[in-house]
Amino acid sequence: MKNIESSLKESRTYKPNPKFASNSNVTKKQLDDLHKNYQNDSEQFWKDLAINEIKWIKQFETCCSGVAPYYKWFEDGELNVTENCLDRFIGRSKNAIIHISETNDKNIITYDELFVLVNNFSWALQNLGLKKGDRVIIYMPTIPESIIAVLSCARLGLIHSVVFAGFSSESLANRINDCEAKAIITVDGFKRNGKLIQAKKTVDDALALGCKSVLKCIIFKHNGNRIAFNHSQDIWWDEILPNKDKIVCPEKMSSEDLLFILYTSGSTGKPKGIIHSTAGYLLNCIITNKWVFDLKEEDIFWCTADIGWITGHSYVIYGPLATGSTILIYDGAPTYPKPDRFWRIIQDNKVTIFYTAPTAIRTLMKLGENLPDNFNLESLRLLGTVGEPINPKAWVWYQTKIGNSACPIVDTWWQTETGANMIAPLPGVTETIPGTCTQALPGIDALIVDEKGNEINKANQGGYLVIRKPWPSMLRGIWGDKKRYQETYWSKFKNKYYVTGDTARKDKYGNIWIMGRADDVVNISGHRLGTMEIESAIVSHDFVAESAVVSYKHEIKGEAIHAFVTLKDGYSEVNKKELAEKLREWVKTKIGSIAKPDKISFSNALPKTRSGKIMRRLLRNIARGEAISSDTSTLENEDILKQLQNIL
């Protein structure tokens, strides 16, 4: 392959592929009209979409009500999300889920079958006494049963909170306790990279930490490994199902009833439970699947996200199913047994739309730049990325090698909080440049502002990325923490804008380029982590006195973690190399593997300002190998600088 990087300029634009454009869900004219309609009458714009796209039990009268930061959408309407995702597609013998396991077993579930499975499991949950508004934690890999569990909760109005099955028992316990979950749904175990992950054991460990609210733990027998069984609480999935198929009437949900809680990291040590409501969330999921992913009923859509993240909620489960398309799920590692696994799955299953993270693209590119050449990837017609800015080299490789130089790429910017894509190109319409997520979708009023909140219109001048007008799928708050909700997202500009926490700039064409976070949040392999969260995990180790965590640029992960650590008195003689390894394992047990620090430095003290604040800029300079830009004259001991630079 010729060296594409050398011929690459940031300004190289990619025009929409005419063949794609001739059949895309949204044409240039329609996109212009959508933007115009929104500008003319934003209420009418959302009203029309909500009426057309959602199957209502009772249609709404009021469109948007309330004032910042508390908005309500379609408040007096009633619906059930599962009627939208299942009931309206039954009787068509259409595939809903194609599941590929790590060991390459294939399981296809039609909409009719999924409807039956969800109804039966809903019946079982109902039978256990769970009621609308109760919280249920789902701690499972991305398999059909976890989707069944999610949808069954939605059918009954139980508020689900999916916890990524890579999180540790402590992270799990914190989430269970924060939302006071009544039940947990899990599996005995599952395989990743051929290794057994004992999910039920992690649940047991979490419960042993004290989770008083939990009454039942439902276990789906997935792997067949032995588990400890607590008869007063544990029950097998199979044993609670009805003997004969049951139909469960979908709970009438008000538009504003909560659909789910999803925990995500913020700039304090404690993850926040982002809450999403029913109708508004569903609406943005549906329209973005249609507009950005050009989703049609005949598509096979593979979004590689785990259902433990928002992408798994909106682009594996709710959006694609409410659009009546077929989703493919794979619950194994991208490199198992070899780094060609993704390409093989696309070929064998004729995937038409593929959505993944830049970090996965970079990993697979590094492990086998030419491996895709061995596969027939012609079924693909659209590619997507999410989670972090994609570097031009990976973008171009993705386009040429995976997309056969023909597939449009949609670089989608959004967040757990926004519920669905906010800034993204429309394939077939928008000209793209590698590295920009282009422009806000119709209905999304995104702008870049300066410290005072004034809009920046000058090209390439960076500022805060904010959203001015409310949109249906916006978060409704943080579970149990109004104050934090207001402070994190609204107070900076006195409720005038929703503050995304990202910084960005606009180029001369009006394309938005995400520059990074403005807060203490880092993005490791597309996963969001708070530096404070990692610091508190490290500090909870017996030997550790203090810690500061910063990120640096990483070729594969995008960002990686450098932890600066000072030890308590009496521990200065311990073997630092061994301790660094121990601390990595410690962080793994406290949070999960994704939070393990890549680099650790030990020093006698952390550099501080006169007022006692840790000099984070200095630490960032060191972690990033940059020239030191801070005044170091206040450091008590110049030797500390040397220690900080000694990286393990």
What is the C-alpha to C-alpha distance for residues 275 and 258, in angstroms, rounded to an integer?
A: 7
Closer residue to ligand WT7 (CB): 322 or 390: 390
Neighbouring C-beta atoms of residue 113, cutoff 10 Å: 16
CB-CB contact of 12 with 433 (8 Å): yes
Residues 6+ apart with CB under 8 A from 347: 375, 376, 377, 379
Closer residue to ligand WT7 (CB): 60 or 414: 414
3-state SS assignment for residue 261: strand
Q: Per CB under 6 A, which of residues 416..435 are in contact with ligand WT7?
A: 416
Residue 464 CB, nearest distance to ligand WT7 (Å)?
Answer: 12
Residue 281 CB, nearest distance to ligand WT7 (Å)?
Answer: 14
Strand partners, 560: 552
Q: Work out whether 415 is an interface residue with ligand WT7 (CB under 6 A).
A: yes
Residues 6+ apart with CB under 8 A from 307: 138, 140, 142, 146, 147, 150, 162, 313, 316, 317
What is the C-alpha to C-alpha distance for residues 574 and 544, in angstroms, rounded to an integer?
A: 12
Site string (276-315) toward ligand WT7, x via CB under 6 A: ----------------------------------xx----
Residue 25 CB, nearest distance to ligand WT7 (Å)?
Answer: 21
CB-CB contact of 525 with 557 (8 Å): yes
Q: In terms of DSSP H, where are the helices of 54-143?
A: 81-85, 111-127
Q: Per CB under 6 A, which of residues 238..267 are in contact with ligand WT7?
A: 264
Single out the residue of 292, 386, 446, 474 in contact with ligand WT7 (rule: CB under 6 A). 386
Q: Work out whether 414 is an interface residue with ligand WT7 (CB under 6 A).
A: yes
Among left, alpha and beta (phi > 0; psi -120 to 50; other), residue 613 is beta
Residue 473 CB, nearest distance to ligand WT7 (Å)?
Answer: 12
Strand partners, 191: 196
What is the C-alpha to C-alpha distance for residues 128 and 234, in angstroms, rounded to an integer?
A: 12
Residue 558 CB, nearest distance to ligand WT7 (Å)?
Answer: 9
Q: Work out whether 401 is an interface residue with ligand WT7 (CB under 6 A).
A: no
CB-CB contact of 564 with 576 (8 Å): no
> DSSP label at 426?
P
Single out the residue of 517, 576, 608, 617 in contact with ligand WT7 (rule: CB under 6 A). 517
Residue 138 CB, nearest distance to ligand WT7 (Å)?
Answer: 18
Count residues contacting ligand WT7 (CB under 6 A)? 21
Closer residue to ligand WT7 (CB): 220 or 281: 281
What is the C-alpha to C-alpha distance for residues 422 and 413, in angstroms, rounded to an integer?
A: 6
Closer residue to ligand WT7 (CB): 250 or 387: 387
Q: Work out whether 528 is an interface residue with ligand WT7 (CB under 6 A).
A: yes
Closer residue to ligand WT7 (CB): 140 or 437: 437
Single out the residue of 137, 426, 514, 524 in contact with ligand WT7 (rule: CB under 6 A). 514
Q: Work out whether 502 is an interface residue with ligand WT7 (CB under 6 A).
A: yes
Closer residue to ligand WT7 (CB): 204 or 388: 388
Q: Which residues bind ligand WT7 (CB under 6 A)?
A: 264, 310-311, 386-389, 411-416, 437, 500-502, 514, 517, 523, 528
